[in-house]
Amino acid sequence: MAHLSRQPHHGGEPVLRRRTWGTAVLLAVCAGLTPVTTAQAAPHRPGPLPLERLFDNRAVSDDARPGEADFDGAGGSLSAQDLTAAGWTPGRTLGVDGARLKWPRSAGSGPDNVTADGQQVRVTGRGDALAFLVAGTGGDAAGTGTVRYADGSRSSYTLTAPDWRTGPLATKSVALPHRNTPDAQLTEKTRLYTVTVPVRKGRQITSVELPDASGDGRALHVFDVSVRAATTGWTGTWSASTAGYTTVGPWADRTVRLVVHTSTGGPRVRIRLDNTFASTPVRIGSASVAVQEAGAAARSAPVPLTFRGGAGALLPAGTQAWSDPVGFDVPADANLLVSFHLPEPVAAAPVHSQAIQRSYVSAPGDHAAEAAGTAYTSTLSYWPLLTGVDVGGGPGSVVLLGDSITDGVKSTQDANHRWPNVLSTRLLGQSEVPRYGVLNQGISANRVVADRYPGDGISTDTGGVSALHRLDRDVLAQTSARTVVVFMGVNDVRWGASGEQVVAGLREVAARAHARGLKVVGATITPCEGEALCTAAADVERVAVNSWLRKGGSGFDGVLDFDAVVRDPAHPARIRAEFDSGDHLHPGDAGLKALADSVDLRLLAP
């Protein structure tokens, strides 16, 4: 019941290595749980089994005994101590991009992953995607697998696992500082990835066939797989994208009180905290939510939040946590105070850098339950850790994927004059289409096809990873997303990208969003002549992208012509003076309102 596969050796040359179905499968056969006959001695797959019963490879070693693991066929392995330092302890459930995955209980003590080779895995549930916790060895590893449903139907998927040593840091779930080898521990980053693939929404999944991804010295290793459940009974009312990982505070025994503005309202609330891009865990001691009265003061006593029944939560590196649902009347179009106590030192954190809103940090102590704002003695201009607020019920959400113009840069601080805010107000005041929640996923300086922030380590650049690299986290995994509006590209052409490159990136965004069942609306790139990087050459590329969008056949379900809304009719490469914030790139309050007012709301409905 074993077969041979090729794996890379120290010098990159493939060597033969024996692969088995796992000890548990052999024990089951020996115990008579799976009848064996002479005819079955030929290659035969057992029925779907839990993934851990198929484990045939050990990726994790103790630093004192690195020879006990051989992840890549050349003696390399992940450090158990590094994983513990990141909060990835054996058996821990990890929230990543809306999915729940489990780090193997056997990590560091025995086989902890399966080398994908067509095995049948017992996976059940309904959702919008399968989430795989994976890594490739010998290079990026890819293959096609099959999903089986209770109604007898099947669908195929393609899974690519980036290499554990060379894959992109921008999309990793966690990066570790070392690689263990039999001879020494090397200071070299290793990576693990969460990759999602679409499934047929609403259909009950019964099993998953892993890809046959062996060959060419490459192997695709699967540590866990789960169904990312479709969100029901919730609507996203506020969100922010992680733009970078920067130094903060440092905070120790401090309470952070963040001011966020709702779009739609509801009778229940929950929050989402993300430790994106981090290398160390963050502990939340307590958390609360309240309606803002003024400054850091709440209108009434904050309502305490819990996490899986406890007052706080531990966020391992690269993971997220949702608070438990709590009854709380969330008003539409209002400011909330979301507070959380940080009992342990936090010197760096994932942030959304351009909040355009003042928030607060307390003097020492847990002040999350206090209505008064007197303990909050300093202010913040960014949002750390908090990435989402959901309300119970509602029709779902519209996600606005954008850059600094969507982020609200140059709008009036504390006034909620971003164009997504104005769009939300329009939705609330009409009945032609559902009153969707509006989720602002704009990041200042963000691009479609290139990363500003590399995706790992402490950085002063908070331009985020590219739209292509953050699409799953910031759009596809957002609560009850129905439609995505893509308004990006100006930063790409300002920094030298061609129109063809931007078009290719936008095509990919549209295709991936369609594969998850979203409606996709594009927006033309607004003019910016007069700004230092908006050269005549950049404008040629901008015009080319807009021409492609307007012609149709772009893969989008509709187009918003924002360029036509704000351009100067007498000088189309420039913003109209009354809409210009003064820097010739960002519309001011009046220009942002004009963008939102121009949206045909019917385009937002699926």
pLDDT, position 45 = 63
Q: Is the pLDDT of residue 163 over 70?
A: yes
pLDDT of residue 195: 98
Helix (H) or strand (E) holding 509: helix 499-515
Over range 423-450, report the average pLDDT: 98
pLDDT reading at 18 higher than 90 = no
* Mean pLDDT for the stretch of residues 290-311: 98
Residues sharing a CB contact under 8 Å with residue 111, sequence separation 6 or more, in sequence order: 22, 23, 55, 56, 57, 58
SS3 28: helix
**pLDDT above 80: residue 40:** no
> Would you state the pLDDT for residue 36?
34
Contacts of 183 (CB under 8 A, 6+ apart): none
Beta bridge partners of 259: 337
Q: How far apart are CA 95 and CA 101, in angstroms?
A: 6
Summarised one tens digit per residue, pLDDT across range 113-135 is 999 999 999 999 999 999 999 99
Ordered by start, the domain boundaries in the chain are: 3-229, 249-385, 395-606
pTM over 0.85: yes
Res. 44 pLDDT band, cuts 50 70 90: low
Residue 31 pLDDT greater than 90, yes or no: no
Q: Fold for 395-606, please state it.
A: Rossmann fold (3.40.50)
CA separation, residue 413 to residues 220, 355, 417, 423 (Å): 48, 9, 8, 18
